[in-house]
Amino acid sequence: MSLPIGTDMAAVHAALDQLCDPEIPVVSLREMGILRDVYMSDKGVEVVITPTYSGCPAMEQIHDDILQSLQQLGVQGQVKTQLAPAWTTEWMLDSAKEKLRAYGIAPPNCQNTRTSQVVRFTRRLQDDVVACPLCGSTNTTITSAFGSTACKALCKCLSCQEPFDYFKPY
Amino acid sequence: MDSPQLPLLLHLADNCLVLGQRNAEWCGHAPVLEEDIAMANHSLDLIGQSRLLYQYAAELIGKAETEDSLAYFRDAQAFRNFTLLELPHHGPLAPSGSTQRDFATTLVRNFLYSAWALGTWSSLAQCSDAQLAAIAAKAVKETLYHWQYAQDWVIRMGDGTAVSQQRAQAAMEHLMPYTQEFWMPLAHAEAAQSMGVFLSHADAQAEWDTLIDAVLVNACLKRPPDGGFVPSGNHGIHSEHLTYLLGEMQSLARAHPKAVW
């Protein structure tokens, strides 16, 4: 068992930066805004994560990946799930958005991010301008607001005719 | 000593779990692939919301209570969900639940419930119980997508063909009376107030009416008159349908208690 004292936090950060979202293996947890905080406590390294969606099945995998990563470093630690403030696509780094696009997923159009404040009438998803990640055209349509995972909608490009996933502003 | 917010948490959690389980019945059976996936996604959100609520409730109860014991080892009388959410996907006179699933009934129910849930989560996101407020802040975003999806379909069906219009109107007439339960005095109203949440029924109902009526106009549907049977699922008095739903959902966990995989 290694003691927290003297743990190389730079090595911990570097190791955690290698961890990706299991459902989108091109972006790291930090870029996604899922990894909220890493700090030392008397229990060891504490890693704080915030779930994207309430029912996101990737969260358990993420939890296990982090523990495994700490274990490989020989570091004692634990993962804490923090619900507030609620995760929003605005936390996604620009680098993540670029990687999503390159991977074929249209990144969220955060100008349309809905607030968690009192919701009454808001913009509709159909009004969002979504650029095709393949050809860049904005002549696209939303086939279904619910796609392959909880966070994505299914779209189609009317210019190049390719179907693609859209990460919903959230 | 029971925590004052416990009945409210269980009511909210049971709502989510029962509707999540009900809607998941469409998995593999929806009219087209996209709607099949949409229904499964709804259930994923709803069951995710119920898990967060049950986890919190279990923490407050203490002892050996867990999210699983609350979901799988309580009987129908202990459930506090609205009766609306346990009804099968068909009208009152269909001969068999499994062969007569009616997409209009499903969507009209989601439409009526998600409008209620939007208002409720928005209020609770401001409450003084930090954990419940966090769950609500998460849920309100998900519910917004459910609401948009449901209202799109209600308009599409109501302003669609003669058949879709007739089925949407029939579903509205079947289900609307059950929404009266939304506005009945709740066992947990006092607890909610002590947390700084004023689930003022008069205001909430007026907002709900506004949301619903605006869509019904666009959907060319008539709002059925108020009145009729007022259910009391929130007090543990359910229709017979809940026992079948729970029977299916709970049998595996009860046959193999404490099984892990």
pLDDT in tens, B182-230: 988 766 666 667 666 656 677 889 999 999 999 999 999 999 988 888 9
B131 within a domain of the structure (yes/no): yes
Q: Is the CB of A56 inside 8 Å of chain B's CB atoms?
A: yes
pLDDT in tens, A96-124: 999 999 999 999 886 544 443 333 344 45
Are B133 and A84 an interchain contact pair (Cβ–Cβ within 8 Å)? yes
* Mean pLDDT for the stretch of residues B4-31: 93
Instruction: Give the pLDDT confidence score for residue A144 in this predicted structure.
Output: 85
CATH number of the domain within which B214 lies: 1.20.1260.10
Instruction: Give the pLDDT confidence score for residue B157 in this predicted structure.
Output: 94
CA atoms of A7 and B140, how far apart (whole Å): 40
CA atoms of B157 and A156, how far apart (whole Å): 23
Instruction: Give the pLDDT confidence score for residue B184 in this predicted structure.
Output: 84
Distance (Å) from the alpha carbon of A32 to chain B's nearest alpha carbon? 17
ipTM: 0.80
pLDDT in tens, B39-98: 999 999 999 999 999 999 999 999 899 999 999 999 999 999 999 999 999 877 665 555
B231 within a domain of the structure (yes/no): yes
Instruction: Give the pLDDT confidence score for residue B197 in this predicted structure.
Output: 66
Helices (H), chain B: 6-23, 33-61, 67-72, 103-124, 130-158, 162-175, 189-194, 201-218, 241-255
State which residue of chain B sits closest to A121, comparing Cα positions: B211
* Mean pLDDT for the stretch of residues B246-257: 95
List of domains in chain A: 9-81 (3.30.300.130), 91-167 (no CATH)
Instruction: Give the pLDDT confidence score for residue A110 in this predicted structure.
Output: 65
Are B34 and A122 an interchain contact pair (Cβ–Cβ within 8 Å)? no
Are B48 and A55 an interchain contact pair (Cβ–Cβ within 8 Å)? yes
Instruction: Give the pLDDT confidence score for residue B101 in this predicted structure.
Output: 86
Distance (Å) from the alpha carbon of B77 to chain A's nearest alpha carbon? 26
Most B CBs within 10 Å: which of A116, A118, A126, as the mutation test of the B interface?
A116
B189 within a domain of the structure (yes/no): yes
B113 within a domain of the structure (yes/no): yes
Are B145 and A57 an interchain contact pair (Cβ–Cβ within 8 Å)? no
CA atoms of A6 and A4, how far apart (whole Å): 6
pLDDT in tens, B100-156: 789 999 999 999 999 999 999 998 998 888 999 999 999 999 999 999 999 999 999
Regarding predicted confidence, which is higher, A50 or A147? A50
Torsion of CA B140, B143, B149, B151, to 10 degrees: -80
In chain B, which residues have their Cβ closer than 8 Å to the Cβ of A54?
45, 48-49, 51-52, 135, 138-139, 142
Q: Is the CB of B145 inside 8 Å of chain A's CB atoms?
A: yes
Are A84 and B134 an interchain contact pair (Cβ–Cβ within 8 Å)? yes
CA atoms of B91 and B109, how far apart (whole Å): 11
Are A146 and B118 an interchain contact pair (Cβ–Cβ within 8 Å)? no
Q: Is the CB of A147 inside 8 Å of chain B's CB atoms?
A: yes
Q: Is the CB of A170 inside 8 Å of chain B's CB atoms?
A: yes
Q: Is the CB of A57 inside 8 Å of chain B's CB atoms?
A: yes
In chain B, which residues have their Cβ closer than 8 Å to the Cβ of A117?
122, 125
Q: Which two tokens stand for residue B34?
A: 């996209």
Distance (Å) from the alpha carbon of B188 to chain A's nearest alpha carbon? 22
The pTM for the full model equals 0.89
Q: Give the count of domains, chain B.
A: 1
Q: Which of B179, B233, B235 is nearest to B208 (CA)?
A: B179
CA atoms of A89 and A106, how far apart (whole Å): 13
Q: Cβ–Cβ contacts within 10 Å for residue B115, how many?
A: 24
Are B38 and A146 an interchain contact pair (Cβ–Cβ within 8 Å)? yes
B182 within a domain of the structure (yes/no): yes
pLDDT in tens, A18-67: 999 888 899 999 999 999 999 998 888 999 999 988 888 888 899 999 99
B260 within a domain of the structure (yes/no): no
Say which of B46, B140, B148 has its CB closest to residue A116: B140
